[in-house]
Structure 1
Amino acid sequence: MDIPYIVVDQLDPDQQQIWKAYFGDADRPRYVEEGIWRRTQEKATAGQSGWAGSGDARRRIIHYRYRYGLVPTTAAPAIGLTDLYLYHSASAPAGEITAHHDALRASLAVGGWKTAPGGACWTRRDLRCRITEHDVHPQDAAAGRALPGGYRTLDVRITSAAYAPPPSVRQLPWNVLSTGIRVKDRPGTATRIPDLSVLADLRPFQVEIGCGTSVEASIPPLHRLHEIYRVTDRQGHEPREHRFTLSPAADNLLHEVLTEPEEKTAEFVEMFRACFLAEPTLALWALRELKDAGHLVGPVITHNFDVLAARAGLDECFMRRYDQAVPDVEWVDGAKALLVVGLHADRRRVQARARERGMKVVYLDPEGFWHDGAFLPYPLEGPQDGDLVCRATAAEALPALVNLLKQQAG
């Protein structure tokens, strides 16, 4: 596969300006896309991991980090994937790891990879693949973690030839692993409200947005990344019931990358491409109106990487940081409420801190999604006693709030 890998070809002048303003010269490296998943087999995850006893301790870690940049072409510049880094670590009983290693060698052969000197590294045009097997993984030894007897770990790193991620980047997934599994909230008793008119008496307020506004802009939901990286087996439609992919024999991610890297990379860059091509929605422009009118204060608190809030003229407090357990939030003295739009569980600590400040937490979420013409329930996990929940879409409720406040202002 050739690097750079073209993601968006022949940018028109407006797209070139969007890149310059919001990606290339932005206040944070929005030209970097990164994701980490760690899935472990333990008692607390038994429902999704298949844990049945102390001998079940399979583990799967995925870390990707991609860098994008402008690439000159004969006509107009393009956006290309300029650096690729994919790390995959699987821990399982020795027999499963041996079979996994054999399967990878077969995939390398099918994909036409060439063995580099040393035998543990392979090349395919501008890509490099390194495979390392461990009786005891150095990260486990350093952290004092002990897998059951007879377990082994196989690490695979696939990179573009010119990219060597620094140790701090390679360490990130292990730092995330050390924080333990995410403990689900126990929902309290929230009050249902028909619309957001309650915010008329809770001004000024701050806002936290999740992927709901992104989905409304035709950006794939985050579970699309779970499909691409085979994080779960995705049998059925209820996200909380999807079983983890932990058995190396059932994990075909690396086989897909090694046998058809061009085709799989097209999936890898799918989310970045969709984010770049998306446009701010009516809901985001409504937030801009609320900001301009003084009803909404502070930056938009978000873990979204689509930049759409910024493109609507809103300041962003970006929280998708793997080096921060509790990212900093710019709270505004006097803010009476936190409006949480289309966000399920990712940043519940922000909402907890808002409650600690005496702010009313108001959720705007339809608590479900459409799939094949059917609306599938997806209840919120975070609402607690005293919170308010409006089961509407951002596209419906936010413009309606703008109109209501305009009417009240005369």
Structure 2
Amino acid sequence: MEIPYIVVDQLTPSQQQVWNTYFGDADRPRYIEEGIWRRTQEEATADQSCWSGGDDARRRLIHYRYRYGLVPTTAAPAIGLTDLYLYHSVTAPAGEITAHEDALRAALAVGGWKRAPGGTLWIRRDLKCKLTQFTLHPQDAVARRKLPQNYRSLDVQITSAQYAPPPAVRQRPWEVLATGIRVKDQRGTPTVVPDLSVLADHLPFQVEIGCGTSVEANIPPLHRLHEIYRVTDRQGDGPHEHRFTLSPTSDPLLHEVLTEPEEKTDEFTEMFRACFLAEPTPAMHALKDLHDAGHLVGPVITNNFDVLAARAGLEECFMRRYDQAVPDVEWVAGAKALLVVGLHADRRKVQARARERGFKVVYLDPEGFWHDGQFKPYPLEGPQDEDLVCRKPAAEGLPELVNVLAKATN
């Protein structure tokens, strides 16, 4: 596989401008795509991890970090993947780890990787792969984590040949692991409202958006990443929880990467490609109209990395970070409500902080999705007793709000 790996070829002049304005010279490194999953087998995760007792302590960490940049071609420039970093660490009973390493060595042979002197490094054109087995993982030793005596760990690091991950990058998944599992919110009994006209009594308001607005722009939902990185044994397209992928002998991710790296890299870059090619939706333009009218104040609080709010002319406050457990939110003096659009898991507790400030919290979300001609419920996690829920998609609810508030102020 060759690096740079072309992700979007032959950019038009307008696409080059989008790159330069929102990706290449942005206020945060939007040319970096990063994700971390930590899955552990313990009593608190028994439903998904199949934990049954103290001897069940399997663990799987996935950390990826990709860098994109403009790549010159014979015609117009392209966007290419210039740095690739994929870290995969599993901890399991010794027999599973041995079988896992044997299977990986076989996959390396099938994929045409060449073993470098020393025995732990393999090379395939512009990629390198390193396997390291531990009786006691150094990170467990430092953290004084106790694992069953017969457990072992195997780390696999796949990078582009010229990239050497700095210590801060290598440490990041272990810092996330140390924060413990995410405790889900307990939903209260919110009031269901037919539309967002209630916000007329709570102006101005701030807004937080999730991937629902991105899906309307034809960006894959976040559970697509779970499928690509085999986070669960999910079947079909529904965003429901399934069992964690924890046993290394039934984990297909590395086999896919090692045997067909070009095909798997195309999947790895799928989300970034979709985000770059997407256009601001009617919902985003409605938010801009609400902002221009003075009804929406402050930056758009978002977990999304598609830059669509910024491309619609709005300031963004980006929350999906690994360097801050609770990222700062720019609260605006005089704001009276928080509108939450298409966001299901409140990982950063923005809504809780809004309630503490006395905000009315209003959700816009259909609380379900259509699949194979059937509407399947997908309840929100965060709403509490005093909150309001409007069960409409953003593309419908936000333009309606623009019209309602325009009539109310005329």
Q: TM-score, normalised by structure 2?
A: 0.99
Partner of 1:176: 176
Is residue 193 from structure 1 mapped to residue 196 from structure 2 by the alignment? no
CA–CA distance in structure 1, aligned partners of residues 265 and 283 of structure 2: 32
Give, in whole Å, the separation in 2 of the partners of 1:395 and 1:177. Answer: 37
Q: Does 1:269 align with 2:279?
A: no
**C-alpha displacement of 1:236:** 6.0
Equivalent-residue separation in structure 2 for 1:157 and 1:373 (angstroms)? 42
Quote the Cα distance in structure 1 between the aligned partners of 2:194 and 2:165: 49
- Identify the residue that residue 73 of structure 1 maps to in structure 2: 73
CA distance in 2, matches of 1:240, 1:278: 25
Measure the CA separation in 2 of the matches of 1:308 and 1:241: 28
Give the secondary structure class of the aligned counterpart of 1:239: coil
Give 3-state SS (helix, strand or coil) of 1:221's partner: coil
The code of the aligned residue for 2:81 comes to L
Q: What fraction of aligned residue pairs are identical, expressed as a percent?
A: 80
Residue 217 (structure 2) aligns with: 217
Cα deviation code 1:36-82 (max 9, x no counterpart): 00000000000000001110010000000000000000000000000
> What amino acid does structure 1 have at the position aligned with 2:21?
A
2:345–2:382 contact (8 Å) kept in structure 1: yes
Q: How far 1:226 moved relative to its partner?
A: 0.3
1:81-92 correspondence runs (5 A) = 81-92=81-92
- 1:380 corresponds in structure 2 to 380
Tell me the residue number matched to 1:148. Answer: 148
Which residue is equivalent to 1:165? 165
Which amino acid in the other structure matches residue 278 of structure 1? A
Q: By how many angstroms is 1:238 displaced? A: 5.3
Distance 1:71 1:134, change over 3 A: same
SS of 1:183's equivalent in the other structure is coil
1:235 deviates by 3.3
Equivalent position SS for 1:241: coil
Q: In 1, Cα distance between the equivalents of 2:272 and 2:240?
A: 25
What residue number does 1:32 align with? Answer: 32
Contact 2:327–2:348, Cα closer than 8 Å, also in 1: no
Gap change, CA 1:238 and 1:276, over 3 Å in 2: closer
1:228-377 matches, within 5 Å, as 228-235=228-235, 239-377=239-377
**Which whole-Å CA distance do the structure 2 matches of 1:293 and 1:236 have between them?**
42
Alignment of 1:53-132 (within 5 A): 53-132=53-132
Describe the SS at the equivalent of 1:33.
strand
- Alpha-carbon separation, structure 2, partners of 1:54 and 1:239: 30
Whole-Å separation in 2 of the counterparts to 1:348 and 1:390: 22
CA distance in 1 between counterparts of 2:135 and 2:50 reads 23
SS at match of 1:375: strand
The equivalent residue for 1:51 is 51
- Using the TM superposition, give the Cα deviation of residue 241 of structure 1 relative to its aligned residue in structure 2, in angstroms: 3.0
CA distance in 2, matches of 1:54, 1:10: 55
Tell me by how many angstroms 1:237 deviates: 5.9
Per the TM alignment, residue 407 of structure 1 is displaced from its structure 2 partner at its CA by 1.1
Letter in 1 for 2:288: R
Give the aligned CA root-mean-square deviation in angstroms. 0.9
Q: Secondary structure at the match of 2:255?
A: helix
User: 1:68-112 deviations in whole A, cap 9, x for unaligned?
Assistant: 000000000000000000000000000000000000000000000
**Contact 1:219/1:275 (8 A) holds in 2:** yes
- Quote how far apart the aligned CAs of 1:334 are: 0.9
2:272 and 2:110 map into 1 onto residues whose CA distance is: 29
SS of 2:349's partner is: helix
Secondary structure of 1:405's counterpart equals helix
Partner amino acid, structure 1, of 2:182: R
Pairs aligned (count): 410
Contact 1:348/1:382 (<8 A) preserved: no
Deviations 1:212-268 (A, max 9, x none): 000000000000000000000003665343110001111000000000000000000
What residue in structure 2 maps to residue 409 of structure 1?
409
For structure 1, list consecutive stretches of 5 or more residues without a partner in the other structure. none
Q: Aligned partners of 1:346, 1:161: CA distance in 2, in Å?
A: 38
Q: Is the 8 A contact 1:363 1:390 kept in 2?
A: yes
Q: Distance in 2 between matches of 1:235 and 1:113?
A: 31
Q: Which residue of 1 aligns with 2:17?
A: 17
- Contact 1:236/1:242, CA 8 A, preserved across alignment: no
Letter in 1 for 2:87: Y
2:371 and 2:269 mapped to 1: Cα distance? 23
Task: Say if 2:369 and 2:377, in contact at 8 Å, map to a contact too.
Answer: yes
Which residue of 1 is the match for residue 395 of structure 2? Answer: 395
CA drift at 1:376:
1.3
Alpha-carbon displacement from aligned partner over 1:313-361 (angstroms, at most 9, x marks no partner): 0000001110111001000011100000000114351100000000011
**C-alpha contact (below 8 Å) 1:210/1:303 kept by paired residues:** yes
TM-score (norm 1): 0.99
CA contact (8 A) 2:319 2:348 kept: no
